[in-house]
């Protein structure tokens, strides 16, 4: 089972799409609201080099934005 962490904000459409995708596949993930958690935001920026969300961490593999085909490859690998 892969470890999935989604760094997101409540108003981000692509964040919602990513979380709905994981839910639809029955995959457990942790959702981190970087709008409210400064330490998590700093962690996200350190991992990705980006301020934009979503940032998706799948077993240490970082994705900026929600690209379904890239996420599916990471989950399959």
Report how far residue 18's alpha carbon sits from residue 67's, in angstroms, rounded to the nearest whole number.
9
Give pTM, 2 decimals: 0.95
Q: What is the dihedral angle through the alpha carbons of 12, 52, 36, 29, rounded to the nearest 10 degrees?
A: 70
How confident is the model over 45-57, as a mean pLDDT? Answer: 96
What is the pLDDT of the chain when averaged over all its residues?
A: 96
Q: What is the pLDDT of residue 77?
A: 82
Burial class (CB in 10 A: 0-12, 13-18, 19+), 26: exposed
Q: What is the pLDDT of residue 48?
A: 96
pLDDT at 73 over 90: yes
- Is residue 3 very low, low, confident or very high in pLDDT (cuts 50, 70, 90)? very high
Q: What is the pLDDT of residue 63?
A: 97
The domain segmentation of the chain, as residue ranges, is 4-76
4-76: which CATH number, 3.40.50.720, 2.60.120.590, 3.40.30.10, 3.30.420.40? 3.40.30.10
How confident is the model over 51-70, as a mean pLDDT? Answer: 96
């Amino acid at each position: 089972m892969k470890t999935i962490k989604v760094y997101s904000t409540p108003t981000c459409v692509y964040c919602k799409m990513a979380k709905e995708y994981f839910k639809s596949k029955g995959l457990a993930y942790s959702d981190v609201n970087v709008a409210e958690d400064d330490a998590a935001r700093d962690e996200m920026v350190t991992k990705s080099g980006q301020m934009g969300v979503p940032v998706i961490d799948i077993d240490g593999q970082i994705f900026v934005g929600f690209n379904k085909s890239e996420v599916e490859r990471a989950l399959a690998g």
